[in-house]
């Protein structure tokens, strides 16, 4: 299907959905605009020196079946600047079912990644996923109450074919708070299976990671708006079946974050064995690494946030630097007389 025909059928579907929903009077529109300018002056091995510069526009139309159930349809229009025949120009569908109540968040389909996985650490999933793969394609389940949130997600990266392997991610992401202290957990399994072509020699690849971090929030005890300290352990594993057995990589990770008004500083330190998770940040493919972020938020009002971050990557081989400006604006409105369900 060409991009033009996709837009036509999507618009037609929206019209039909809107017409059907008038009787129920529970329909709404949400728009997410994300602009990014990310200049990466990387000099270290395993990393790619490049500039990522473009926009993602994500309109969504939702139909509320009742106060807990929704059907959402829309699209991402993802375009890097400087368009030419080799430049990406992508329309990606947004189409998923959502169930929410005061404790459960469940979704199935093509759902926006930022809404579900924005808290996943870079060592688990590199931040380029937000630019290049703005959807999760699979399932998401989260349970949350006053002090706890635990999420499980499946992201299907590739369906098996004659030339393409079956690939998927299964992950956990959680946060448990008790007083001024909190515990964070992340886990991921990356499974790279085989193609349907029996004539070539292939081996199933499994990579994974488990990370636990204990932290303390001292924000209320200082003049700063935010001050958190956390530290923990990382255990990664790697296996290529029939080539070598399970190998493990252990490490220590610590993070400091402080914020005052529109400024922030964040420092992340990793010490240990090199991690080999294919979808994680490539800077962690070494035995020690320190990242320092200096940030300024010039725009912050309601659902609008513009953020500038200067990052310095201290690796054993080279010092790399990065400058990124991102702007996100989220807009939502009811297109019906009864308004939006309370649980959304």
Q: How many residues in the chain?
A: 344
Host domain of residue 307: 3-334
- Kindly report the pTM of this predicted structure: 0.87
Higher per-residue pLDDT: 99 or 90: 99
Domain membership of residue 108 (yes or no) is: yes
**Cα 258 to chain centroid, rounded:** 22
Number of domains in the chain: 1
Give dist(CA 20, CA 236) in Å, integer.
50
Residues 196/161, Cβ–Cβ less than 8 Å: yes
Q: Identify the band that residue 157 occupies on the pLDDT scale cut at 50, 70 and 90.
A: very high
- Give the Cα separation of 136 and 113 in Å (integer): 5
Buried b or exposed e, range 322-339, using 16+ CB within 10 angstroms: bebbbbbbbeeeeebeee
- Summarize the confidence of residues 275-281 as an average pLDDT: 92
Residue 214 within a domain:
yes
Residue 160, pLDDT score = 92
Segment 32-88, tens digit of pLDDT: 999 999 999 999 888 999 999 999 999 999 999 888 999 999 999 998 888 877 776
pLDDT value, residue 341:
47
pLDDT over 70 at 324, yes or no: yes
> Is 340 part of a structural domain of the chain?
no
Residue 342 counted as domain residue = no
pLDDT value at 294 more than 50: yes
Q: Average pLDDT, whole number, for the chain?
A: 89
344 part of a folded domain: no
Listed in sequence order, the residues at least 6 apart from 36 whose beta carbon sits closer than 8 Å to its beta carbon are 52, 53, 54, 55, 56, 131, 324, 325, 326, 327
Q: Where does residue 138 fall: left (phi above 0), alpha (psi -120 to 50 degrees), or beta otherwise?
A: left
Residue 339 lies in a domain: no
Question: What is the per-residue pLDDT across 206-235, written as a single tens digit (0 to 9) for each?
Answer: 999 999 999 999 999 999 999 999 999 999
Cα–Cα dist 335/15, whole Å: 12
Compute the Cα dihedral for 121, 284, 291, 211 and give only its sign.
positive
How many CA atoms lie less than 13 Å away from 96 in the CB half-sphere?
24
Structure tokens at 20: 């059907």
CATH number for 260: 2.40.160
Q: Band the pLDDT of 200: cuts 50, 70, 90.
A: confident
Residue 110: both structure tokens together: 């093509």
């Amino acid at each position: 299907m060409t991009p033009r025909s996709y837009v036509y059928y999507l618009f037609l579907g929206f019209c039909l959905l809107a017409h059907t929903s008038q009787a129920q009077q529970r329909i709404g529109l949400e728009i997410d605009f994300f602009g990014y300018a990310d200049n990466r002056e990387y000099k270290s091995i395993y990393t790619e020196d490049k500039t990522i510069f473009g926009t993602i526009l994500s309109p969504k139309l939702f139909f509320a079946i009742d106060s807990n159930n929704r059907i959402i349809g829309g699209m991402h229009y993802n375009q890097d600047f400087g368009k030419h025949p080799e430049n990406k120009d992508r329309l990606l569908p947004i189409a998923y079912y959502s169930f929410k109540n005061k404790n459960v968040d469940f979704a199935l389909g093509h759902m926006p990644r930022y809404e579900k996985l924005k808290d996943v650490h870079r060592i688990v999933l590199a931040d380029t996923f937000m630019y290049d793969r703005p959807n999760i394609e699979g399932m998401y389940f989260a349970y949350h109450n006053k002090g706890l949130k635990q999420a499980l997600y499946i992201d299907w990266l590739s369906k098996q074919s004659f030339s393409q392997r079956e690939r998927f991610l299964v992950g956990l992401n959680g946060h448990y708070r008790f007083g001024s202290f909190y515990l964070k957990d992340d886990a991921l399994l990356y499974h790279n299976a085989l193609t349907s072509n029996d004539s070539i020699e292939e081996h199933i690849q499994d990579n994974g990671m488990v990370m636990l971090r204990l932290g303390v929030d001292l924000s209320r005890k200082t003049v700063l708006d935010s001050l958190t300290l956390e530290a923990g352990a990382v255990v990664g594993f790697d296996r290529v079946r029939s080539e070598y057995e399970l190998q493990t990589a252990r490490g220590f990770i610590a993070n400091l974050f402080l914020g005052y008004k529109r400024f922030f500083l964040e420092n992340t330190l990793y010490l240990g064995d090199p991690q080999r998770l294919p979808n994680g940040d490539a800077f962690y493919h070494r035995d020690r690494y320190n990242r320092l972020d200096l940030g300024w938020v010039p725009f912050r009002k309601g659902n609008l946030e513009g953020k500038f971050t200067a990052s310095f990557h201290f690796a054993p081989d080279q010092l790399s630097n990065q400058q990124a400006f991102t702007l996100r604006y989220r807009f939502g409105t009811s297109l019906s007389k009864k308004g939006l369900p309370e649980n959304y």
